[in-house]
Structure 1
Amino acid sequence: MGVVLERGQLEGILSSCLNLNQLIIKYCKLPYKLCISGTVTSVLFVNCCELDEIDLQATKLRRFEGSFDDKVKFCFSSVPVLKHVNICLIGGAGMPYIFGEFARDLPAQVKSLIITAYSDQVANFPTETQIFRNLRKLALLLESTYDFDIVKVSPVLDACPLLQYLDLVQKSTITQKARRSGIRSLSPTCHTELKEVRFGGFLGIQEEIELVLYILKSAMVLKRMFLSQYLISPYYSVHYGFDTWKKRERERLSIEQKLHRQAISSNVVVIIQ
């Protein structure tokens, strides 16, 4: 934590730690390119500057997490057992890279992906994305959606043909209102694997309902949809002290009515909390 590493130093440490399981690097100044190798099974980077590229050659690596101040290029050279990736690239080029080159190069065995996007990135959410070939679980954590049309995340579902579990969590204000007029409903597509959707930070505004309807009408085997006013765990601490629906019970019933019998799946249960 908080150290300066010159080129080759981290590689030297890894080569001499023959039983290393976990590597955590926080607030460090790093060389432009790093190579992660050896026996390590879990790697976490937090706010490390200067770094441009990480070459992952750790054959036992199962989990990789990283939060970076700018775009970092990832080379998945040799990670045959990597299953879980948690990524946040704060710079403006982060989202196009994640949904473009990063998605294209992500190893097929990766089944779980968490993506965090901050306000400037959310506002420029990509309209096109590469295919995430074998992804089973996706979590999109949107740190600010004040000026963002949540419907714009719908193409991501089309880019994950084998997706089974979707967590969508947005941080927005209670006073947030629908921003579009004359909304045209999304045309349903066909999602044959999606089983469960959790939508955290759900306020019931028009764009959110449109996205929910799109999923209900598209997910053929959906079993459970959970719409929560709270920021759902395990991504955020859950606070149950303030219930926005207490004074909006009529509105909640209206939302339930709009969603009633809209699902293509006959087994789905929709919960609004």
Structure 2
Amino acid sequence: MKRESKKVVATSKRRKRSQMQLCNLPMNILCSVISKLPTKDAIRTSILSSQWRYVWCHHTNQLTFDGFMFIRRSIKFSPSYYATAKKEECNARVDAILQQHCGEGVQRIQVKYALDNKSAGHLDRWVSFAITSKTKELTLYLSDRRIRSFTMYADGSDVFPRTKGLYNFPCHLFDANNSSYLRGLQLASVYLKPPADFDGIRNLKRLSLVDVDIADDDLESFLSHCKLLEFLEIAYCGMLTAIRATHLLNKLKHLRVGVCDLLEKVEMNCCCLTTLEYIGPMVSLAFAGTSSLTNVCIKFMAIDAALDYISKGFPSTLPNVEMLYLHCIDSKRVTLPLKTPKFVHLRHLRLELVISERQDRKTDVLDYAHLLEVAPFMERLELHMWMDCPHQPYDRRTDGELRSNTPSHQHGHLKWVYITGFFGYKDQVELAFQILRSSAVLKRMRISSQAIIIHYCAAEMIEVYRERHVVDGRMVAMDLFSGTEHADIVEVVGASEIAPKLGIVH
């Protein structure tokens, strides 16, 4: 009898367990669980049973519509027909999904596949749905390929090509009341022209415009109504000649500007900006207040002298910068002023130098020892070089003795130095020795013969650089810096004798 009673108890426990299923959860909890799923997977739950049919309609976390969502295994027709049919089918399915959705409290809506103004009717309805559902973040990424919004190529070769018939973003659908919930707006490959009576998106905190056609005055007008903006990104906007914000943006903390070919100036009225990232031609950068600007990243796609720009250009107006990242194509030697600015708050300097001089090289890498005087409290120095010059690794018999400048004072804070693209040129060797002699508390200097930056014009010469420059640079560094005097500080890394099989990082 005891055994039978135990079996009965065990059977009843199993039955209770089997009754505890996901569909038995309260609807609000079930909807919360479904909202964690990707849009496609959430919709698929509708085929489980009649009880599950409409649960996904309360998916409130994020609705994402991209090309991957609509991939189907079927017979492909001709490529052109298949592409056209696919786009029309995508639009129809998005319409159907949004019509069935409850339309309440969707946190994020993303549309990420190639659309133009021919689909304006569909897109307008989707934007209206976002407004009605009180969406906080709206993304319209209407490019037919992935755009890297802040690409780090010095030659600008990855600039996204102009697309005809861009979708005209419907600013007229937004007013002070219905747009109050929107916090983030990301637009890619659209046309943006706010009407004269546009009242703005008052509570917008993040704005990203990538490959957007917008005029200078229209951008200024749009920004004037975004007084709570904290993050602004503008990239590949080919119409812009000026980025201006005459109205105070006292909440703006992060600004990104990248690869706007016609851009001539950036003028921002913002007092709390902490991070600036800029890629493009050398332009005028003017800010009403720079006291809070601590992190600066500038990559110029034009030829200039980095030392000259540090001492006379925009960085010289930044008294509180803590991290400076500067990329420059250096082709001339400059005479430094007697009084150079002191970056007393600078702790981390990353300098990328492209030196491309096939004949009569004018630059002198040893000049960059001046950085130790410019940044007396610097703790970390990164110097990444690409030397596209006639190759001649240092040889004492032919190049003579190394120049030895006695440092005027010992740098008391520099602890970590990283040099890449060390091809063994004489002035590179002299700079490394100068830093060693001038740094009183240096813990580690890492020298690599491999390059992590590369000049696009040298692409056809990659094999030559692998076989000669990288190997020669390592041999010079090993010969000069691996002795007992520097062994505890200097670490030589990079290619070995099998370097022709290795790739240059870029």
Q: With the length of structure 1 as denominator, give the TM-score of the two structures.
A: 0.77
Cα drift, residue 219 of structure 1: 0.6
Q: Which runs of 5+ in 1 are unaligned?
A: 234-241
Identify unmatched segments of 5+ residues in structure 2: 1-209, 454-465, 494-506
Deviations 1:230-264 (A, max 9, x none): 2359xxxxxxxx6977788865542235x64269x
Pick one of 314, 317, 321 that aligns with 1:105: 317
Counterpart residue number, 1:231: 451
Cα distance in 2 for residues equivalent to 1:42 and 1:6: 22
Q: Note if contact 2:415-2:443 (Cα within 8 Å) is conserved in structure 1.
A: yes
Q: Is the Cα contact below 8 Å between 1:23 and 1:40 reproduced in 2?
A: no
- Which of 183, 186, 208 does residue 405 from structure 2 map onto? 186
Name the structure 1 match of 2:387.
172
Greater radius of gyration (CA): 2
User: Are residue 16 (structure 1) and residue 225 (structure 2) matched?
Assistant: yes
1:12-161 aligned within 5 A: 12-17=221-226, 18-32=228-242, 34-35=244-245, 38=249, 39-70=251-282, 72-92=283-303, 95=306, 96-106=308-318, 108-118=319-329, 122-128=330-336, 130-133=340-343, 134-145=345-356, 147=361, 148-161=363-376
Partner of residue 441, structure 2: 221
**What is the CA distance between 1:89 and its match in structure 2?**
3.3
Q: Give the structure, 1 or 2, with the largest relative contact order (CA under 8 Å, sep 6 or more).
A: 1
Aligned length in residues: 255
Give the distance between the partners of 1:92 and 1:246, measured in 2 at CA.
28
CA contact (8 A) 1:5 1:29 kept: yes
Cα offsets for 1:126-146 (capped at 9, x unmatched) = 341532422211111012355
Counterpart code for 2:331: A
Residue 208 of structure 1 pairs with residue 416 of structure 2? no
SS in 1 for 2:324: strand
2:215 matches 1:6: yes
Secondary structure of the structure 1 residue equivalent to 2:431: helix
Instruction: Find the aligned partners of 1:131 and 1:99 in 2 and give their Cα distance.
Output: 6
- Distance, in Å, in 2 between the alignment partners of 1:23 and 1:61 is 13
Amino acid aligned to 1:88? K
Q: Distance in 2 between matches of 1:199 and 1:15?
A: 44
Q: Distance in 1 between matches of 2:272 and 2:480?
A: 47
Q: In the alignment, residue 74 of structure 1 is paired with which amino acid?
A: L
2: CA distance, partners of 1:90 / 1:247: 29
CA contact (8 A) 2:305 2:333 kept: no
Contact 2:231 2:253 in 1 (8 A): yes
Any idea what the Cα deviations from partners look like across 1:174-229, whole Å, max 9, x if unmatched? 97215894443232332122111100111233222211110000011111101012
8 A contact 1:128–1:155 mirrored in 2: no
Residue type at the aligned position of 2:278: G
Partner Cα distance (2:336, 2:378) in 1 = 17
Distance 1:168-1:145 versus aligned 2 partners, 3 A rule? farther
The residue type equivalent to 2:315 in the other structure is A
Q: Do the aligned partners of residues 94 and 30 (structure 1) sit closer, same or farther apart at CA in structure 2, a change above 3 Å counting?
A: farther
Find the counterpart in structure 1 of residue 480 from structure 2: 255
State the AA in 2 paired with 1:68: G
More helix by share: 2
Q: Structure 2-normalised TM-score?
A: 0.44
